[in-house]
């Protein structure tokens, strides 16, 4: 019986480590949310490499590879939300953080192009 109280902090730590990650100071949206936004004319920034972008992207997306985001953040519109996407959501989260710090209104697309394609949404080359 004395081991139960000793295990409670360990159990709490394990539960907390399984919790979803905080996405910083910007919202993360689903590809379904993005599809609705794209259909309404939203701006999409694809931060994958030029080669990845050329292999298939959202028709209205603009390519700005992650390694260029910090240097070119001033070129990203700041007057309306910009949806940031990559392959899986990792690079777009990094780009979203950089752009948010630069004062941009950004929304990270969780799951990225992997989820977009899996949902059957259109891709162009």
Catalytic residues: 86
CA distances from 68 to 46, 50, 91, 112, 122 (A): 12, 11, 12, 19, 26
- Torsion sign over Cα 97, 98, 102, 108: negative
Tokens 């394990």 map to which residue? 14
């Amino acid at each position: 019986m004395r081991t139960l109280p000793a295990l409670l902090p360990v159990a709490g730590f394990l539960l907390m480590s399984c919790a979803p990650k905080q996405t910083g100071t910007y919202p993360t949206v689903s590809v379904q949310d993005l599809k609705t936004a794209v259909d309404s004319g939203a701006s999409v920034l694809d931060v994958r490499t030029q080669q990845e972008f050329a292999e298939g992207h959202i028709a209205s997306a603009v390519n700005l590879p992650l390694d260029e985001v910090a240097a070119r953040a001033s070129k990203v519109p700041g007057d309306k939300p910009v949806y940031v996407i990559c392959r899986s959501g990792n690079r777009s989260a990094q780009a979203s953080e950089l752009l948010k710090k630069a004062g941009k209104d950004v929304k990270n697309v969780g799951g990225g192009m992997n989820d977009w394609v899996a949902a059957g949404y259109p891709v162009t080359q």
